[in-house]
């Protein structure tokens, strides 16, 4: 049977209507690239926030007279807290070593005794907590036997806390807008590229083609446009990634990367755009063109 013909029609549709196809592919490329950028930027920002929020450090300085028992009570408390993901004990000697590393001078040579207190560096995962939880924890620790002082960057914490949600919601809004805009644009450009061929549909009908027969090549063409668009979008995104890393590499702690989720996502979306866009458009037009 002539299924081969339908597939060939789909391919040659691309070649025949070069310009409308080109515009459809371009639109898919641009839409997917913009969405990819939104996604990359958004995840990067969320990642940065989470990095800071999950590794939030609180320093618990011990008083000179802290006993083993005090320390075991403190560690017990740290172990039992949901907030705390880990902690390190920094003894007076460790602190002295760090001092030497940082300032290049042995503290024992400067002073007779070591005035640096022992401390705990506590890492807290603040992603699911707000700054009040941290403050509470810090206060509780501060009141414990053997604790001299608790230090943490309260300002940073409050800032993070405040904007983390804003970034998430804002990112979500932008993603929805870009997705919506893409769907509208791609759908309508594919429609326009089919519109340019309504003469073909009319004549096909006159010679006895069923609607299915007419539709299939358009859908195959749409899928091809989607795949090509996705391919170009991946190239574009790769360019953006390389460019951004080059320009912003010195500011950011981690580089942008093209990971598999984004590659898979772009290809899947491209396919969907092409398939759904062409299927919907052709269905719409075919019912408008007279039998």
Min dist. Cβ of residue 192 to other proteins (A): 16
* 284 lines the binding site for other proteins (CB under 8 A): no
In 3D, which of 172, 138, 144 has the Cα closest to residue 157?
Answer: 138
* 290 lines the binding site for other proteins (CB under 8 A): yes
Q: Select the binding partner of residue 5 from other proteins, a copy of itself, none (C-beta < 5 to 8 A, by kind).
A: other proteins
Q: Select the binding partner of residue 165 from other proteins, a copy of itself, none (C-beta < 5 to 8 A, by kind).
A: a copy of itself
Q: Which of 58, 74, 141, 200 binds other proteins (CB under 8 A)?
A: 200
Q: Which is nearer to a copy of itself, 118 or 281 (CB)?
A: 281
> Residues 151-161, buried b or exposed e (16+ Cβ, 10 A)?
ebeeeebeebb
Min dist. Cβ of residue 33 to other proteins (A): 30
Bridge partners of residue 84, in order along the sequence: 124
* 291 lines the binding site for other proteins (CB under 8 A): yes
Min dist. Cβ of residue 17 to other proteins (A): 7
Q: Are 152 and 59 in contact (CB under 8 A)?
A: yes
How many whole angstroms separate alpha carbon 125 and alpha carbon 119? Answer: 19
**Burial environment of residue 6 by CB neighbours within 10 A (0 to 12, 13 to 18, 19 or more):** middle
* 71 lines the binding site for other proteins (CB under 8 A): no
**Whats the size of the chain, residue-wise?**
291
* 17 lines the binding site for other proteins (CB under 8 A): yes
* Stretch of 21-29, 42-50, 153-161, 210-218 contacting other proteins, by CB under 8 A: 210-218
Contacting residues for 289 by C-beta, under 8 A, at least 6 apart: 198, 201, 202, 205
Alpha carbon 113 to chain centroid, angstroms? 51
How many whole angstroms separate alpha carbon 109 and alpha carbon 103? Answer: 13
Min dist. Cβ of residue 153 to a copy of itself (A): 5
* 210 lines the binding site for other proteins (CB under 8 A): yes
* 199 lines the binding site for other proteins (CB under 8 A): yes
* Residue ranges that bind other proteins, judged by CB under 8 A: 1-2, 4-5, 16-17, 197, 199-200, 202-211, 213, 290-291
């Amino acid at each position: 049977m002539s299924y081969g013909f339908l597939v060939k029609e789909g391919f040659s549709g691309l070649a025949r209507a070069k310009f409308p196809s080109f515009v459809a592919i371009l639109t898919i490329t641009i839409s997917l690239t913009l969405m990819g950028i939104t996604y990359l930027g958004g995840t990067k920002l969320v990642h940065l926030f989470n990095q800071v929020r999950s590794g939030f450090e609180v320093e618990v300085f011990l008083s000179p007279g802290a006993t083993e028992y005090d320390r075991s009570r403190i560690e017990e408390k740290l172990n039992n807290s949901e907030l705390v993901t880990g902690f390190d004990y920094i003894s007076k000697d460790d602190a002295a070593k760090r001092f030497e590393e940082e300032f290049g001078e042995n503290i024992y040579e400067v002073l007779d005794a070591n005035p640096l207190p022992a401390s705990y560096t506590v890492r807290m995962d603040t992603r699911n907590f707000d700054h009040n939880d941290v403050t509470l924890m810090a206060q509780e620790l501060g009141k414990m036997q053997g604790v001299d002082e608790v230090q943490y960057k309260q300002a940073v914490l409050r800032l993070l806390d405040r904007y983390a949600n804003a970034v998430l919601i804002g990112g979500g809004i932008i993603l929805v807008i870009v997705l919506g805009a893409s769907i509208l644009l791609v759908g309508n450009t594919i429609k326009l590229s089919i519109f340019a061929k309504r003469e073909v549909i009319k004549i096909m009908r006159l010679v006895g083609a069923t609607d299915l027969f007419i539709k299939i090549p358009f859908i195959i063409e749409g899928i091809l446009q989607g795949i090509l668009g996705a391919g170009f979008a991946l190239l574009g995104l790769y360019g953006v990634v390389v460019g951004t890393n080059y320009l912003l590499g010195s500011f950011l702690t981690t580089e942008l990367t093209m990971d598999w989720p984004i590659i898979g996502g772009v290809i899947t979306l491209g396919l969907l755009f092409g398939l759904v866009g062409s299927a919907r458009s052709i269905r719409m037009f075919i019912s408008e063109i007279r039998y």
